[in-house]
Homo-oligomer: A and B are copies of this chain.
Amino acid sequence: MDQLTLNTPLDMHLHLRDGDMLELVAPLSAETFSGAVIMPNLVPPVDSLDAVHGYRGRILQAIGKNAFAPFMTLFFRQYSEAELLAAKDHIIGIKLYPAGATTNSEAGVKAIDSVEPTIRLMEEMGMPLLIHGETHGFVMDRETEFLATYRHLATKFPKLNITMEHITTAAAVELLDEFENLRATVTLQHLLITLDDVAGGMLNPHLFCKPIAKRPEDRDALLDAALKAHPRLMFGSDSAPHPREKKECCGCAAGVFTAPIALQVLADLFTKNGCQQNLQAFVSDNARRLYDVTPAEKVVTLVREPFEVPAIYGETVVPMYAGETIPWSVQSVE
């Protein structure tokens, strides 16, 4: 298996930031992906239709001539019915962050119960709820502790489509099978690494992300679900660029930058596990079906030819596998 064609690949969880960083990283995603779910945790958060329109405009400007659909999200807060109705056709869903759980999430939700009126409206309108599912507990338990909240929401709002973003545990994969209205995204790095890669040898700030990578058995369960193209699991890179100095010299930035290498690494991972036939569903078909989106077609051909990953992009962002050679390359995008 030396060549692989992917139709309309989608990244269902992406951070593009703003300003110079947006200019730098947006084209790197738009080059190979047909579209991406754009996270709203800017400063200030994207929590109005005006902000959505403004941000979408800046993204479209940044990607230039590439065909690329930015699926916009609102940052969760209590919204009125009128606000939601106005936003409905301009967003793919609303992203809920527990306050303080990750980068720029200080404005997030402190108690789920108190925001259920908005969630009820979303359910009625068929508007997906995307969730960063972590408690404030011990770092290795934060996701499993949050599963009770997913269970509560999935039960109480049976018609609400809930996406468990960037799942990292075997327990989350199990929960996915319990509720038809739960979907999940998983990142590239969580298919590959464990806490050992972050802090088992030396500290590796470039692999430090939230949720933190977990145990080997968690990684194995995620990889297994991805390789068999679990029908409610989607690729979402959570690719998150941070300026190098924030990563290396203080470890004060959580996120792994994978956008420019994600498809190549996935091609390697799926082919070497004999699951190449399932990659199309994982990186596109599941998402198109679950979110009912039809972005412009883009055909990406990957080949088993070494690709030297740049050590740095734009003199500021260090990607995963920086300076290393990975076995697959993008041959063409049509």
Where the two chains meet, the residues of A that have a C-beta atom closer than 8 Å to any C-beta of B are: 138-140, 194-196, 198-200, 202-205, 208, 212, 215-216, 248-254
Closest to A208 in B: B203
Contacts of A249 in B (CB 8 A): 248-249
> Is A199 within 8 A of B212, CB to CB?
yes
Q: Whole-angstrom distance between the alpha carbons of A318 and B46 in the complex?
A: 39
Q: Whole-angstrom distance between the alpha carbons of A249 and B250 in the complex?
A: 7
Contacts of A203 in B (CB 8 A): 203, 205, 208, 250-252
Contacts of A248 in B (CB 8 A): 249-250
Contacts of A204 in B (CB 8 A): 251
- Min C-beta distance of A46 to chain B, whole Å: 24
Contacts of A140 in B (CB 8 A): 140, 195, 215
11 sampled A-B residue pairs with Cβ under 8 A:
A138-B196, A139-B199, A140-B215, A199-B208, A202-B250, A203-B203, A203-B205, A203-B250, A248-B250, A249-B249, A251-B251
- Among A198, A199, A248, find the residue whose CB has the most chain B CB atoms closer than 10 A: A199
> Is B139 within 8 A of A196, CB to CB?
yes
Contacts of A202 in B (CB 8 A): 250-254
> Is A216 within 8 A of B251, CB to CB?
no
> Is B253 within 8 A of A138, CB to CB?
no
Closest to A140 in B: B195
Starting from the known contacts A198-B199, A199-B199, A202-B251, 5 additional A-B residue pairs (CB-CB under 8 Å) come to A138-B215, A199-B212, A202-B250, A202-B252, A203-B208
Contacts of A253 in B (CB 8 A): 202
- Min C-beta distance of A248 to chain B, whole Å: 5
Closest to A202 in B: B252
- Min C-beta distance of A196 to chain B, whole Å: 5
Q: Whole-angstrom distance between the alpha carbons of A192 and B203 in the complex?
A: 20
Closest to A246 in B: B202
- Min C-beta distance of A122 to chain B, whole Å: 31
Q: Whole-angstrom distance between the alpha carbons of A251 and B139 in the complex?
A: 19
Q: Whole-angstrom distance between the alpha carbons of A15 and B309 in the complex?
A: 39
Closest to A139 in B: B200
Q: Whole-angstrom distance between the alpha carbons of A253 and B200 in the complex?
A: 12
Contacts of A139 in B (CB 8 A): 195-196, 199-200
Q: Whole-angstrom distance between the alpha carbons of A194 and B141 in the complex?
A: 13
Contacts of A200 in B (CB 8 A): 138-139, 212
Q: Whole-angstrom distance between the alpha carbons of A208 and B201 in the complex?
A: 11
> Is B251 within 8 A of A194, CB to CB?
no
Contacts of A252 in B (CB 8 A): 202-203
- Min C-beta distance of A213 to chain B, whole Å: 10
Contacts of A250 in B (CB 8 A): 202-203, 248
